[in-house]
A and B are shown apart, each in its own frame.
Chain A
Amino acid sequence: MAAALFAVTAAALDAPALERAVVSAHGEDAARTGAPGAGAVTTFVGLVRDQNLGRRVLRLEYEAYEPLAVRAFEQIAGEAAALWPACRLGIHHRTGGVAIGEASIVIVAASAHRGEAFAASRYAIERVKQIAPIWKHEYFEGGDVWIEGAVAAADDAAAREKAEKLACV
């Protein structure tokens, strides 16, 4: 069975499985519409880094509001499809304890041409950081802290524009 395109999971992330699922979904779109099939796939993998703000990080623990996170991923993919119509996205995010060097997120974009795939991928990671209800609890040498970034607002047009600008650099 093909991997779900959007998922939050406590299991180790499987980037090749998501690549296959996204390319397959893109191929089904293309077959239906007569548009060109995939000519590019980008895979972005976010890793748990060993340092943050000068602290030596030991591990991260991710918490998610899972069903809303999956809906946020679907919303992000819908926004990306409006901006880059020939592009298909898949997003998987890890929850629970994640060790240094392990993947916390995988974003796959498939499109006919590379430009759209790169742009949609960058757009998606910026939007995940803006609106996905996911939190990292950082355990570092000497303590621990909840990391708090953006105030999530699904309909914030300024945030969307910021992500689009970053995607189009």
Chain B
Amino acid sequence: MRVTVRLFARLRDLAGTSELDADVPPGATIADVWAGVVARHPALAPYAGSLSAARNLEYTRLSAAVTDADEIAFMPPVSGG
């Protein structure tokens, strides 16, 4: 199955793109999607410990499963206000 991955702020800068498609096997989790993104963009690896993720516009844990055509967002620590 294929999901759309969105990257924000410094993650986007480091990867050089704000959006990419990722092919993952059935039963894959958000963490698996992240691992695939890091494999393509190793500069993102240091964010593993300070990452937030959202699935279809809801914050989610990295252990959550993904389904085909999901929009998965990976986000560095936030700094609004």
Q: Which residues of B lie under 8 Å from residue A134 when comparing CB positions?
A: 78-81
Whole-angstrom CA separation of A147 from B58 in the bound complex: 23
A154 contacts the other chain (CB 8 A):
yes
Q: Which residues of B lie under 8 Å from residue A163 when comparing CB positions?
A: none
By secondary structure, the B interface counts as: mixed
- Interchain CB contact under 8 A, A135 and B80: yes
Within 8 A of B (CB), among A140-159: 146-155
Expressed in whole angstroms, the minimum distance between the Cβ of B68 and any Cβ of chain A is 21
Expressed in whole angstroms, the minimum distance between the Cβ of B71 and any Cβ of chain A is 10
Whole-angstrom CA separation of A8 from B70 in the bound complex: 23
Which residue of B8, B51, B73, B79 is within 8 Å of A149 (Cβ)? B79
Whole-angstrom CA separation of A18 from B29 in the bound complex: 40
- Interchain CB contact under 8 A, B75 and A62: no
Most buried by A among B13, B75, B79, B81: B81
Whole-angstrom CA separation of A108 from B2 in the bound complex: 41
Expressed in whole angstroms, the minimum distance between the Cβ of A46 and any Cβ of chain B is 5
Whole-angstrom CA separation of A123 from B8 in the bound complex: 26
B52 contacts the other chain (CB 8 A):
yes
Which residue of A67, A136, A154 is within 8 Å of B80 (Cβ)? A136
Whole-angstrom CA separation of A149 from B77 in the bound complex: 5
A29 contacts the other chain (CB 8 A):
no
Q: Which residues of A lie under 8 Å from residue B81 when comparing CB positions?
A: 46, 104-105, 125, 128-129, 132, 134
- Interchain CB contact under 8 A, B76 and A148: yes
- Interchain CB contact under 8 A, B73 and A146: no
Q: Which residues of B lie under 8 Å from residue A133 when comparing CB positions?
A: 8, 52, 54, 73, 75, 78, 80
List chain A positions with a Cβ less than 8 A from chain B.
Answer: 46, 62-65, 67-69, 71, 93, 104-105, 125, 128-137, 146-155
